[in-house]
Amino acid sequence: MRGWRLALVATLLFSCTFGTLFAAGQKESTSVQTTNDGKKILYVAYDRELDLLNPFTSQMLCDPEYNVTEGLIFTNDKNEFIPVLAKEIPTFDNGGIVENADGTYDMTWHLREGVNWSDGVEFTADDVKFTLDFIHNTPDVYNQSEYNHIIDATVVDKYTITFTWDDLYTYYAGLFEAMLPKHILGHLSWAEIASYEPYNRGSEFIGTGPFMFAEWKSGEYIRLVKNPNYWRGDQYPNIDEMVFQFIPDQTARYNAMKSGRYQIGQIEATQVADFNVKGMHVEMIPSNVFYYIDLNVTADTGRPDLFGDVRVRKALYEAIDRQAIVDQLLEGTVQLANSPIPPSSAYHNSNIVAPTYNPEDAKKLLAEAGWTDTNGDGILDKDGVKFSFTFMNRSGRTDRISIAQVVQAQLKQIGIEVTMKEFEAAAWSERWRNSEWDAIVGGWFMSSDISLTNYYHTRDGKNGSNNFTGMSNPELDALMVAADKNLNYAERKPLLDKAQQIIADDVVSIYLYYRDSPWVVADNLENFHGSGTNLGNWWNSYEWDLK
Amino acid sequence: MLRYVIKRTIQMIPLLFAISIVIFTIIQAAPGGPEGTLLDRGMFVDPAAIDAYRAKLGVDEPVVIQYFKWLGAMLTGDLGISFQTQRPVFDMILERMPDTLRLMGLSFIVAAIIAIPLGVFSAVKQYSTFDFVATGASFVAIAMPVFWFGLMLQYFFSVKLQWLPVAGTMTVGVGGFVDQLKHIIMPAAVLSLNSIAGWSRYMRSSMLGVLNQDYIRTAHSKGLSKKTVISVHAVKNASIPVVSVMTLDIARLFSGAVITETIFGWPGVGRMFIQAMHARDYPLLMGIMMMGSTMVVVFNLVADVIYAWLDPRISYE
Amino acid sequence: MNETVTDVQDISLAAEGIGVQLRSNAKITWEKFLQHKLAVISSLFLILLVALCFLAPLIAPYEFDAIDLMNIRKAPSLAHLLGTDALGRDLLTRLLYGGRISITIGLTAALLGTVVGTMIGSIAGYFGHWVDNLLMRLTDLAYSIPTLPLIIVISSYTDTQALGIVLIIGLFSWMQTARVVRGAILSVKENEYVTAARALGAKDRLIIIRHVLPNISNSIIVGATLGVGNAIITESSLSFLGLGVSPPTPTWGNMLMDSQATMSSQPWLTIFPGMAILLTVLCVNFIGDGLQDALDPTI
C-alpha cells in the first residue's frame, strides 16, 4: 500500500503547485511607486547590463549613458537627427557644407554657447576635436571607419569646428552622438583612455546631459541623479533619479513590469496581448529593425546551386506565408515588410511590388527552373541534387528560431526540405561572417541615416562589408552608391525607391516584417516619446516627469 | 592527519596546473573570438581595425604562447584584464563575491538545516505520513527545472500577491534589512529546494542503512534512549554520503548559479560567467573557472578531513 | 558479533564456488524484487512509456513538426488531446517524440554515472593510498571541466547535437557518485567483517561485491534515482541558456522551457511535460526502492 500513498501524495503536491497558478486571485492592479522621500525616482526594467559607459568603446547596444553624455546630434522619436550641443546641423543650404577645389568637403559645426560639463567646466570645440582624435586612435570604436573619412579637423574658435571630409557620406550628420571631456581625460594616452576605469565605470564619467552618474552596482543596476546645472535651464530635468535595473530574462522582466515596481521596460511581442495592468499601458514604438531571410549564394560555402536562380528565390518568397507570420505568430504586433527601409523613415517606399504568398505559383516557378520531384520522395530534385538546405540558427534567439520553424514547415509543403542547425552566439557570428551557411533568419537595426550599401552592395573590400550572402547586382550597386553620396532628399528618394524595387525584383533578401518594440510605460510618466532608433528612448528624458 | 593535509595541499599545485591546461584548451577550442561582439555592433568595421583590436587583446598569438603568458601573469597574482570591461579580472570577481556568497551561503545553510533533519526523520519514521509527504515533495522538486520554479514564484509572490520584488538585492534608494531580506527570499528558496530534495534523499537512505545495522540495535539494547542513539551514533555514521555531496556543493557556492541569478537579476558570479562566455572574454573566463576549480579541490580535501572526524577508523596513512 | 562470524563463513563458502553463489544470489534478488509490487508496476509502466515514445512515429496523431499557425496555443480538445503549442503543434505528439530524447538522456546519464562512479569510487575507496589519490584527483579534474563551454565546442563541430548533449550529461555525472561511494567505502572497509575477510585472504573483487557494495547500495541507488531527474532537468536548463537540443526536435526539457513565457495563461503547455518528467522520476525511484530491498542482505 505504501507506494500508492506516496504516488498519491506526489501527484497531489504536483497539482497543488500548478493549482496555485489558477487559485491565486486575479489581483493584477498595481500602485506605481513614484516618489521616495519626496524624490521622483524612475525605475527602469532594463534588459541588459552595459560593459562600460564610454559610448565609443562600448561593444553593446545600450543607451542609459546618453542621459549623461550628449553629442552634437541625437535622434528623436520621428527618426530625425536633431542638434543638441550644436546650434544646427550643417547642410549645403545653410552654408555649413562647402565643396573644396580638390573634391573634399568642409563641414562646419557651430556649437551652442554656455554649455557646461556637469562639473562646471565649459564645453568647447576643443572637446569635439579631442573626441575625434580619440576615435581616430582607438581600434575599439565600432564605427571608427566612418570617422576615418574625416581627414582633417580645425578648431576655428571656441564654438566653431570644421571637419574636412574626403567625400560626401549620408551619415555625416549621424556621428558624434556623445562627447568626451578633454579636461578629464586629456592627460591620458589614447590607449589609457580606452581602459581608464574611472571613466568607463562612472566615477569620472562626466557629461553635459540632464543626469549625472551616481552609482553602478555590477550586475544589478546603474543609478543616475539629476544634473542641477543642466544647460537647458533650472526647470530641467523634472525627475530626480533614474535607476536602470538589469533584468535580462524576458519572462522575469515581464513579471517585473506586472509587479508595478518599475515605470518603464521593454517586453516581448507575444506578451503584449496578456499585459493588462491598471496604471500602465503598452506603447508600440516603431523601430528601425527589419526581419528577413537571407539566402547564401557565395561560391563554395553557400548554395548557389539552389539559390543562384532568381526564379527559385522568387518561389521561396511566394511559398512563405509572411502575413500569417505577422498575424498569428507575432499576434499582429508588427508590420509586414517588403523592403529594408522601415515606414518610420522618409525613404521608405510603400509602392514596392514584392512577391506575395502563392504556393501554386511557387511550384510553377520551381518547375520552370528545373526542380521537380523525379523520384517521388516528396522532395524536389534536379540533376540528382535534392532541394534541401539548412537554416543556421543563433541559439537563444527564440523569435527567429520560431520563424525558421514556420518557414521550414511551409517550404515542406512545396517539396523543399529544410533542416536546422543551432550555434551559440559567438560561433554563429563567426560562421555568418565567413559565409559558411545556407540560409538564416536575421534582424537588422537600420540607422536613421539610411544607407543600403553595407547590406546589399557587392562585397569588394570597400562596400558591402555586411553582405555575407554573396549577392551581387551592378545596377543596384550603382544606385546605392549614388544615394550615399547625395544629400538632397528630393534627388535621393527616387534613387532609394528604385533600389528597394530592384532588391524585391531580384530577391536579394526575403523580407518578413518591421518590428515595433512593445514598451510598458506607467500612465503617470509624462512626455515620454519613445524612439526606435539605435540611440534609444532617452533623447528627451530632461522633460520627462512623474506625476 | 596534518601530514596528510600538507601532502594533499602540495599535490594541488600540479593538479590545478593540469586543470588550467584543460580549461584553456576548451575555451579556446570554442569557435568565435572576442572580436565578435565588436563586429556584431558595428556595420563598417574594416579588417585592419579588427586585426589591430585582436593584437591589442593579445589573441592574435598562438594558443600555446597565450597560455604561457596567462600562466606567467597568474603566478605573479595577475589574473589579467577583462576584454569587455577593460577592468582587472580579480576586481570583477571580488566585486561579485559578497552577493554571490550571501545568496549561495544562505541557501546552503537553509538547505542543510532542513534537509538533514528531514532525511533523519523520514528514515526513523519510515513509511509514516511524514515520510510520504517528504518523499513526494522531494520528487516534485527534482522534476521542476530551476528557471520554471523561479518564474512561478515570481508570478505568485510578485505579480499576484505583490509581496516580494522580482529582481535585485535591494530596492535602490530604500535599502534596509527587511528590504534586502524580501529580495533574497525567492532566489534562496529556489536554490535551496533542489539541494533539500537531493540531500534529504541521501540522508534518509543512508540513515535507513545504519538503523538496520547491528551496533545500533546493540546500543539501543544497552539502554541508551532512542533519541541518543539516533542523534549521536546513527546520524554521525550515516552522514558520510551526504557530506560527500554537500562538500561538492559548497565548492559550487563560489561559482554562483547562472539561471537563478538571471531570473532574479542577482549580481552573482554565475551570470558574469555566461556573459564572459558569449563575449569570449578569455581572461575573465579563466579567472572564474580557476577559482571554481580551486574550490572543488580544496573542499574535497575538507571532505576527506571530515570523513576521518565522522569515523575515526578512517585513516589515509 | 554474530554477523561477522556468518560473514566469514559466507566468504569461505564463496571461495569454494563463486559461480554458484553469485547465480543463486541473482535469483534470490530477482525473486525479492518481484515481491515489491510497486517496483514491478513501475518497471512495467516505464517500459510502456519507453515503448510509446520510441513507437511515436507509428502512434502519434500528428507529425512533431506539423505547424498550424491558425491553431496556436489551443487548449486541450478532441482534435488535440493535450492542446497545441506556440506554433500550433500537437502537444501529445511532441510529448511522445520528446520522451525519446529525454528518457534517453535521463537513463543514459544515470546508468553511465552510476556504473562509472561506483567503479571508480569503490576502487579508490577500497584500495586507498596512491590508487585513491590518483582516481580522486582525476575526479577533481573531471569536476573542474566546464560543461557549458564544452557543449558549445562539441555542438559546433558535430551534426548530432542531441547525441552530444546525451553524452556530455552522461559523461559528466559520475563524479558525485564516485565521491559518495568512495567516502562511504572508506568507512565500511574498516568494519570487522571486511578486515576479517581480508585477513582470510578472500579476493578483493569479491569483498567489494559481496560485502562492501551491498552496505552502500542505498546511496548508490539514491544517486541513480536523482541522476535520472537531474539529467532531464539539466537538458531543460541548457535550453534556457540556449544550449539545449535545438528546435524543432522536441524534448520534455525544451518543451518546459518554451512554455515558461505563457505558463500562467496556457498552463497545459507546462503541466504535461512536467507530469511526464515527474512520472519518469517516480518510476525510477520505485524501481530503486525495489532494488534496494532486493539487494539488502538484512531483509
User: pLDDT, tens digit, for every residue of A288-309?
Assistant: 899 999 999 999 899 999 999 9
Per-residue pLDDT at B309 exceeds 50: yes
User: H helices of chain B, where?
Assistant: 2-29, 35-41, 47-57, 63-75, 89-124, 129-142, 146-153, 177-211, 214-221, 226-228, 235-253, 258-263, 269-279, 282-310
Per the structure block, which three cell numbers stand in for B213? 545495522
Question: Cα–Cα distance between C229 and C234 in angstroms, integer?
Answer: 8
From the list B84, B136, B162, the residue facing A59 with the nearest CB is B84
Q: How far apart are the first and last CA of chain B?
A: 8
What residues of C are in contact with residue A250 (Cβ under 8 Å)?
261
Question: Cα–Cα distance between B297 and B247 in angstroms, integer?
Answer: 10
What residues of C are in contact with residue A270 (Cβ under 8 Å)?
86, 261-262
Per-residue pLDDT at A419 exceeds 80: yes
DSSP letter at A35 equals E
Q: Is there a domain that residue C227 lies in? A: yes
Minimal CA separation from A369 to chain B, in Å:
35
From the list B29, B204, B240, the residue facing C184 with the nearest CB is B240
User: What is the pLDDT confidence band of residue B285, given thresholds at 50, 70 and 90?
Assistant: very high
Q: Average pLDDT, stretch B263-268?
A: 93
What residues of B are in contact with residue A169 (Cβ under 8 Å)?
none
What's the pTM value of the predicted model, to 2 decimals? 0.89
Question: Cα–Cα distance between A394 and C155 in angstroms, integer?
Answer: 12
Contact criterion met (CB < 8 Å) for B243 and C183: yes
From the list A10, A218, A255, the residue facing B96 with the nearest CB is A218
Please give the pLDDT value at position C275: 87
Minimal CA separation from A321 to chain C, in Å:
10
User: H helices of A355-466, where?
Assistant: 359-368, 398-413, 425-433, 453-456
Contact criterion met (CB < 8 Å) for A258 and B280: no
pLDDT tens string B136-192 = 888 888 888 888 899 989 989 999 888 999 999 988 877 788 999 999 999 999 999
CATH number at residue C132: 1.10.3720.10
Half-sphere exposure (Cβ direction) of A535: Cα atoms closer than 13 Å: 28
Subunits adjacent to chain C (3 or more Cβ pairs under 8 Å)? A, B
Contact criterion met (CB < 8 Å) for A252 and B144: no
Question: Cα–Cα distance between A180 and A173 in angstroms, integer?
Answer: 18
Q: Is there a domain that residue C169 lies in? A: yes
Please give the pLDDT value at position A325: 94
pLDDT tens string C191-204 = 888 888 888 888 88
Does the beta carbon of A422 lie under 8 angstroms from any beta carbon of chain C?
Answer: yes
Please give the pLDDT value at position A178: 95
What residues of B are in contact with residue C264 (Cβ under 8 Å)?
155
User: What is the pLDDT confidence band of residue A258, given thresholds at 50, 70 and 90?
Assistant: very high
Per-residue pLDDT at A130 exceeds 80: yes
Please give the pLDDT value at position B215: 64
Q: Average pLDDT, stretch C102-110?
A: 90
Please give the pLDDT value at position B230: 64
Tell me how far CA of residue C179 lies from CA of B203, B307, C114, in angstroms: 15, 12, 11
Does the beta carbon of A252 lie under 8 angstroms from any beta carbon of chain C?
Answer: no
Interface test with B, best of A9, A254, A437 (most B CBs within 10 A): A9
Q: Is there a domain that residue C256 lies in? A: yes
pLDDT tens string A148-177 = 999 999 999 999 999 999 988 888 888 999
Q: Is there a domain that residue C133 lies in? A: yes
What residues of B are in contact with residue C222 (Cβ under 8 Å)?
201-202, 204-205, 241
Q: Which of A460, A455, A453, A509 is nearest to A483 (CA)?
A: A453
Q: Which of C79, C96, C97 is nearest to C88 (CA)?
A: C79
Per-residue pLDDT at A30 exceeds 60: no
Dihedral (Cα; C68, C74, C76, C82), 10-degree rounding:
50
User: What is the pLDDT confidence band of residue B44, given thresholds at 50, 70 and 90?
Assistant: low
Contact criterion met (CB < 8 Å) for A325 and C37: no
Contact criterion met (CB < 8 Å) for C278 and B18: no
Minimal CA separation from A79 to chain C, in Å:
32
A-chain residue closest to C239, CA distance: A396
- What's the burial of A135, exposed, middle or buried (CB within 10 Å: 0-12/13-18/19+)? buried
Return the percentage of chain A with pLDDT > 90, whole number. Answer: 67
Question: Does ipTM come in above 0.90?
Answer: no
Count CB atoms within 10 A of the CB of residue C74. 18
Say if residue C248 is preceded by a cis peptide, omega within 30 of 0. yes
Q: What is the mean pLDDT of chain B?
A: 86
Please give the pLDDT value at position C2: 37
Interface test with C, best of A329, A330, A419, A512 (most C CBs within 10 A): A329
Question: Cα–Cα distance between C245 and C248 in angstroms, integer?
Answer: 9
- Angle among Cα B241, B243, B249 to the nearest 5 degrees reads 115
Per-residue pLDDT at B221 exceeds 70: no
Please give the pLDDT value at position B307: 87
Q: What is the mean pLDDT of chain A?
A: 90
Question: Cα–Cα distance between A232 and A248 in angstroms, integer?
Answer: 34
Question: Cα–Cα distance between B280 and B26 in angstroms, integer?
Answer: 12
From the list A254, A396, A406, the residue facing C67 with the nearest CB is A406
Per-residue pLDDT at C23 exceeds 80: no
What residues of C are in contact with residue B313 (Cβ under 8 Å)?
187, 190
Highest mean pLDDT among A6-20, A32-46, B85-99: B85-99
Q: Is there a domain that residue C179 lies in? A: yes
User: What is the pLDDT confidence band of residue B227, given thresholds at 50, 70 and 90?
Assistant: low
From the list A3, A328, A404, the residue facing C69 with the nearest CB is A328
Q: Is there a domain that residue C290 lies in? A: yes
Does the beta carbon of C222 lie under 8 angstroms from any beta carbon of chain B?
Answer: yes
Does the beta carbon of A268 lie under 8 angstroms from any beta carbon of chain C?
Answer: yes
Q: Which of residues 240-279 of C touch B (CB under 8 A)?
A: 240-241, 253, 256-257, 260, 263-264, 270, 274, 277-278
Q: Is there a domain that residue C9 lies in? A: no
B-chain residue closest to C127, CA distance: B316
From the list B137, B261, B278, the residue facing A13 with the nearest CB is B137
- What's the burial of B74, exposed, middle or buried (CB within 10 Å: 0-12/13-18/19+)? middle
Per-residue pLDDT at A28 exceeds 70: no
User: What is the pLDDT confidence band of residue C94, given thresholds at 50, 70 and 90?
Assistant: very high
Per-residue buried b or exposed e for A63-88, using 16+ beta carbons within 10 Å of the residue's own CB: bbbbbbbbbbbbbebebbbebbbbee
Minimal CA separation from B95 to chain C, in Å:
22
Query: What is the DSSP pairing of strand A510-522 with strand A280-295?
Result: antiparallel
- Angle among Cα B44, A296, A471 to the nearest 5 degrees reads 60
Residues sharing a CB contact under 8 Å with residue B21, sequence separation 6 or more, in sequence order = B67
From the list A254, A270, A424, the residue facing C242 with the nearest CB is A424
DSSP letter at B177 equals H
pLDDT tens string C238-282 = 888 888 888 888 999 889 888 887 777 788 888 899 889 888 988
Contact criterion met (CB < 8 Å) for B244 and C183: yes
User: What is the pLDDT confidence band of residue C18, given thresholds at 50, 70 and 90?
Assistant: very low
User: What is the pLDDT confidence band of residue B45, given thresholds at 50, 70 and 90?
Assistant: low
Question: Cα–Cα distance between B138 and A6 in angstroms, integer?
Answer: 11
From the list A146, A191, A258, the residue facing B159 with the nearest CB is A258
Minimal CA separation from A141 to chain B, in Å:
8
Minimal CA separation from B44 to chain A, in Å:
6
Long-range contacts of B129-136 (CB under 8 A, 24+ apart): B129/A5, B131/B204, B132/A2, B132/A5, B132/A6, B132/A9, B133/A9, B133/A13, B134/B200, B134/B204, B135/A6, B135/A9, B135/A10, B135/B204, B136/A6, B136/A9, B136/A10, B136/A12, B136/A13
Dihedral (Cα; C73, C75, C81, C84), 10-degree rounding:
0
Does the beta carbon of C5 lie under 8 angstroms from any beta carbon of chain B?
Answer: no
User: How many residues are recorded in chain C?
Assistant: 299
From the list A5, A41, A219, the residue facing B173 with the nearest CB is A41
What residues of B are in contact with residue C150 (Cβ under 8 Å)?
26
Per the structure block, which three cell numbers stand in for A466? 555586411
When divided into structural domains, chain C yields a total of 1
Q: Average pLDDT, stretch A401-427?
A: 91
Q: Is there a domain that residue C76 lies in? A: no
Please give the pLDDT value at position B226: 65
Question: Cα–Cα distance between A148 and A166 in angstroms, integer?
Answer: 9
What residues of B are in contact with residue C225 (Cβ under 8 Å)?
201
Long-range contacts of A35-40 (CB under 8 A, 24+ apart): A35/A546, A36/B173, A36/B174, A37/B173, A39/A240, A39/A241, A39/B173, A40/A238, A40/A239, A40/A240, A40/A241, A40/A545, A40/A546
Which range, of A32-36, A103-107, A371-375, B254-258, averages the lowest pLDDT? A32-36
Contact criterion met (CB < 8 Å) for B30 and C186: no
Tell me how far CA of residue C168 lies from CA of A537, C105, C154, C217, C247, in angstroms: 43, 10, 9, 25, 19
Question: Cα–Cα distance between C189 and C207 in angstroms, integer?
Answer: 9
Per-residue pLDDT at A20 exceeds 60: no
User: What is the pLDDT confidence band of residue C19, given thresholds at 50, 70 and 90?
Assistant: very low
Contact criterion met (CB < 8 Å) for A18 and C270: yes
Q: Which of residues 403-462 of A touch B (CB under 8 A)?
A: 423-431, 433, 447, 454
Subunits adjacent to chain B (3 or more Cβ pairs under 8 Å)? A, C
Q: Give the distance, in angstroms, between the CA of residue A233 and the centroid of all CA atoms in the same chain.
A: 32
Question: Cα–Cα distance between A133 and A131 in angstroms, integer?
Answer: 5
Boundaries of domain holding C217: 97-295
User: Partners of A513 in the beta sheet?
Assistant: A291, A336
Please give the pLDDT value at position A470: 92
Q: Which of C297, C262, C237, C242 is nearest to C105 (CA)?
A: C237
Please give the pLDDT value at position A417: 95
What residues of A are in contact with residue B52 (Cβ under 8 Å)?
139
User: What is the pLDDT confidence band of residue C206, given thresholds at 50, 70 and 90?
Assistant: confident
What residues of A are in contact with residue C71 (Cβ under 8 Å)?
none
Does the beta carbon of A478 lie under 8 angstroms from any beta carbon of chain B?
Answer: no
Question: Cα–Cα distance between C117 and C291 in angstroms, integer?
Answer: 18
pLDDT tens string A478-512 = 999 999 888 888 999 999 999 999 999 999 999 99
Render A233-269 in DSSP notation, one character per residue.
Answer: -TT----SEEEEEE---HHHHHHHHHTT--SEEE--G
Per-residue pLDDT at B55 exceeds 80: yes
What residues of C are in contact with residue B22 (Cβ under 8 Å)?
141, 144-145
What residues of B are in contact with residue A12 (Cβ under 8 Å)?
136
Q: Which of B238, B266, B295, B47 is nearest to B168 (CA)?
A: B266
Q: Average pLDDT, stretch C11-15?
A: 43
From the list C161, C246, C278, the residue facing A14 with the nearest CB is C278
Does residue A409 contact residue C90 with C-beta atoms inside 8 Å?
no
Contact criterion met (CB < 8 Å) for C285 and B152: no
User: What is the pLDDT confidence band of residue A15, given thresholds at 50, 70 and 90?
Assistant: low
Contact criterion met (CB < 8 Å) for A256 and B167: yes
Contact criterion met (CB < 8 Å) for A422 and C246: yes
